[in-house]
Amino acid sequence: MNIMKKINFLYLFILPFVFTSCDFLEKFDHFGVGNTFERSFDINVNPTDLNTYTGFVSFDASDDATLDENLDDIKEFDIENIRYKITGFSGDDIAVANGTVKITSEGDVVGTSVTIGNVNFSDLYAEGTEMKLPLTQATYNAIKDAYLSKQKIKIEISGDYVVSEPTEVEFTIYMTVEALINM
Protein backbone atom coordinates (compact mmCIF):
# COMPACT_ATOMS: atom_id res chain seq x y z
CA MET A 1 0.00 0.00 0.00
CA ASN A 2 2.83 2.34 0.80
CA ILE A 3 4.26 1.80 -2.71
CA MET A 4 0.93 2.78 -4.31
CA LYS A 5 0.91 6.07 -2.40
CA LYS A 6 4.43 6.79 -3.62
CA ILE A 7 3.47 6.04 -7.23
CA ASN A 8 0.36 8.23 -6.99
CA PHE A 9 2.43 10.99 -5.46
CA LEU A 10 4.95 10.62 -8.27
CA TYR A 11 2.19 10.92 -10.89
CA LEU A 12 0.79 13.98 -9.16
CA PHE A 13 4.25 15.47 -9.04
CA ILE A 14 5.06 14.79 -12.74
CA LEU A 15 1.64 15.63 -14.22
CA PRO A 16 1.93 19.44 -13.88
CA PHE A 17 5.26 19.35 -15.68
CA VAL A 18 3.74 17.46 -18.60
CA PHE A 19 1.03 20.09 -19.08
CA THR A 20 3.45 22.95 -18.51
CA SER A 21 5.85 21.48 -21.05
CA CYS A 22 3.08 21.29 -23.67
CA ASP A 23 2.17 24.93 -23.05
CA PHE A 24 5.82 25.83 -23.21
CA LEU A 25 6.27 24.10 -26.57
CA GLU A 26 3.22 25.85 -28.06
CA LYS A 27 5.06 29.16 -27.72
CA PHE A 28 7.52 28.09 -30.43
CA ASP A 29 6.16 29.20 -33.79
CA HIS A 30 9.17 28.52 -36.00
CA PHE A 31 12.29 26.42 -36.37
CA GLY A 32 15.68 27.12 -37.89
CA VAL A 33 17.38 25.34 -40.75
CA GLY A 34 20.96 25.88 -41.84
CA ASN A 35 22.98 24.14 -44.49
CA THR A 36 26.16 24.48 -46.47
CA PHE A 37 25.77 23.19 -50.00
CA GLU A 38 28.89 21.97 -51.76
CA ARG A 39 29.50 21.38 -55.47
CA SER A 40 32.72 20.73 -57.40
CA PHE A 41 33.91 21.04 -60.98
CA ASP A 42 37.22 20.57 -62.80
CA ILE A 43 38.95 22.77 -65.33
CA ASN A 44 41.58 21.41 -67.68
CA VAL A 45 43.93 23.75 -69.52
CA ASN A 46 46.62 22.74 -72.02
CA PRO A 47 49.37 24.98 -73.45
CA THR A 48 48.03 24.25 -76.94
CA ASP A 49 44.52 25.46 -76.00
CA LEU A 50 43.40 29.05 -75.95
CA ASN A 51 44.62 29.24 -72.33
CA THR A 52 41.14 29.91 -71.06
CA TYR A 53 39.08 28.08 -68.48
CA THR A 54 35.46 27.88 -67.52
CA GLY A 55 33.42 25.82 -65.11
CA PHE A 56 30.21 26.10 -63.15
CA VAL A 57 28.02 24.61 -60.46
CA SER A 58 24.28 24.96 -59.80
CA PHE A 59 22.25 25.17 -56.60
CA ASP A 60 18.50 25.22 -56.02
CA ALA A 61 16.03 24.89 -53.16
CA SER A 62 15.49 21.18 -53.84
CA ASP A 63 19.08 20.57 -52.65
CA ASP A 64 17.73 20.57 -49.08
CA ALA A 65 14.51 18.60 -48.53
CA THR A 66 13.52 20.60 -45.43
CA LEU A 67 13.87 23.92 -47.25
CA ASP A 68 12.17 22.61 -50.38
CA GLU A 69 9.18 21.25 -48.44
CA ASN A 70 8.76 24.48 -46.46
CA LEU A 71 9.45 27.23 -49.03
CA ASP A 72 5.98 28.73 -48.57
CA ASP A 73 6.47 28.90 -44.79
CA ILE A 74 9.88 30.58 -44.70
CA LYS A 75 9.80 33.54 -42.34
CA GLU A 76 13.42 34.64 -42.87
CA PHE A 77 16.06 33.45 -45.30
CA ASP A 78 19.67 34.49 -45.57
CA ILE A 79 22.58 33.43 -47.72
CA GLU A 80 25.45 33.71 -45.28
CA ASN A 81 28.24 33.47 -47.86
CA ILE A 82 29.51 31.88 -51.03
CA ARG A 83 33.09 30.59 -51.00
CA TYR A 84 35.42 28.61 -53.21
CA LYS A 85 38.37 26.41 -52.48
CA ILE A 86 40.85 24.65 -54.74
CA THR A 87 40.41 21.01 -53.69
CA GLY A 88 42.59 19.41 -56.33
CA PHE A 89 45.55 20.53 -58.44
CA SER A 90 48.10 19.06 -60.81
CA GLY A 91 50.22 20.77 -63.42
CA ASP A 92 51.92 24.15 -63.84
CA ASP A 93 52.46 25.36 -60.28
CA ILE A 94 53.72 28.84 -61.19
CA ALA A 95 50.94 29.86 -63.61
CA VAL A 96 48.71 32.74 -62.55
CA ALA A 97 45.04 33.00 -63.48
CA ASN A 98 42.68 35.92 -63.97
CA GLY A 99 38.96 35.63 -64.32
CA THR A 100 35.42 36.45 -63.41
CA VAL A 101 32.79 34.86 -61.20
CA LYS A 102 29.33 35.34 -62.69
CA ILE A 103 26.09 34.30 -61.02
CA THR A 104 23.02 33.64 -63.14
CA SER A 105 19.47 32.44 -62.64
CA GLU A 106 17.35 31.19 -65.53
CA GLY A 107 20.01 32.62 -67.89
CA ASP A 108 19.88 36.14 -66.43
CA VAL A 109 22.86 37.63 -64.61
CA VAL A 110 22.14 38.06 -60.90
CA GLY A 111 23.94 40.91 -59.16
CA THR A 112 27.43 42.08 -59.98
CA SER A 113 30.19 39.83 -61.31
CA VAL A 114 33.36 39.45 -59.23
CA THR A 115 36.85 39.74 -60.69
CA ILE A 116 39.59 37.30 -59.70
CA GLY A 117 43.04 38.67 -60.43
CA ASN A 118 46.54 37.20 -60.34
CA VAL A 119 45.57 34.03 -58.50
CA ASN A 120 47.94 31.09 -58.28
CA PHE A 121 45.67 28.05 -57.99
CA SER A 122 48.59 25.84 -56.98
CA ASP A 123 49.32 28.07 -53.97
CA LEU A 124 45.64 28.15 -52.95
CA TYR A 125 45.55 24.35 -53.13
CA ALA A 126 48.75 23.95 -51.08
CA GLU A 127 47.51 26.39 -48.43
CA GLY A 128 43.99 24.92 -48.30
CA THR A 129 42.62 28.45 -48.34
CA GLU A 130 38.89 29.06 -48.75
CA MET A 131 38.16 32.31 -50.55
CA LYS A 132 34.93 34.15 -49.76
CA LEU A 133 33.45 35.79 -52.83
CA PRO A 134 33.15 39.54 -52.17
CA LEU A 135 29.51 39.85 -53.21
CA THR A 136 27.42 42.93 -52.55
CA GLN A 137 24.31 42.78 -50.39
CA ALA A 138 22.26 43.52 -53.52
CA THR A 139 23.75 40.41 -55.16
CA TYR A 140 22.97 38.28 -52.10
CA ASN A 141 19.39 39.63 -52.15
CA ALA A 142 19.00 38.84 -55.86
CA ILE A 143 20.32 35.30 -55.30
CA LYS A 144 17.93 34.86 -52.36
CA ASP A 145 14.93 36.03 -54.42
CA ALA A 146 15.77 33.65 -57.26
CA TYR A 147 16.44 30.77 -54.85
CA LEU A 148 13.14 31.23 -53.03
CA SER A 149 11.36 31.36 -56.40
CA LYS A 150 12.68 27.83 -57.03
CA GLN A 151 15.07 28.99 -59.74
CA LYS A 152 18.47 27.38 -60.20
CA ILE A 153 21.43 29.49 -59.15
CA LYS A 154 24.42 28.97 -61.47
CA ILE A 155 27.87 30.10 -60.32
CA GLU A 156 30.34 30.23 -63.20
CA ILE A 157 34.06 30.90 -63.01
CA SER A 158 35.93 31.67 -66.23
CA GLY A 159 39.03 33.48 -67.37
CA ASP A 160 42.58 33.30 -68.71
CA TYR A 161 45.12 30.81 -67.44
CA VAL A 162 48.37 30.66 -69.40
CA VAL A 163 50.10 27.38 -68.54
CA SER A 164 53.33 25.74 -69.69
CA GLU A 165 52.08 22.17 -69.17
CA PRO A 166 48.67 20.45 -68.99
CA THR A 167 47.00 21.61 -65.79
CA GLU A 168 43.91 20.38 -63.96
CA VAL A 169 42.25 22.33 -61.16
CA GLU A 170 39.31 21.17 -59.04
CA PHE A 171 37.14 23.97 -57.65
CA THR A 172 34.68 23.38 -54.82
CA ILE A 173 32.00 26.02 -54.31
CA TYR A 174 30.24 26.32 -50.94
CA MET A 175 26.97 28.21 -50.36
CA THR A 176 25.86 28.57 -46.74
CA VAL A 177 22.20 29.39 -46.07
CA GLU A 178 20.03 29.82 -42.99
CA ALA A 179 16.26 29.96 -42.73
CA LEU A 180 13.55 30.41 -40.11
CA ILE A 181 10.47 28.41 -41.01
CA ASN A 182 7.01 29.02 -39.52
CA MET A 183 5.34 26.03 -37.94
pLDDT in tens, 30-67: 567 778 889 999 999 988 878 899 999 998 877 777 77
Could you tell me which residue, 7 or 123, shows the higher pLDDT?
A: 123
Report the alpha-carbon distance of residue 125 to residue 115 in Å, rounded.
19
Please name which of 103, 99, 102 lies closest in space to residue 45, comparing C-alpha atoms.
99
Stated pTM of the model: 0.78
What's the pLDDT at 78? 86
Residue 112 has pLDDT above 50, yes or no: yes
* CATH T-level fold of 30-182: Jelly Rolls (2.60.120)
Sequence ranges of the domains in the chain: 30-182
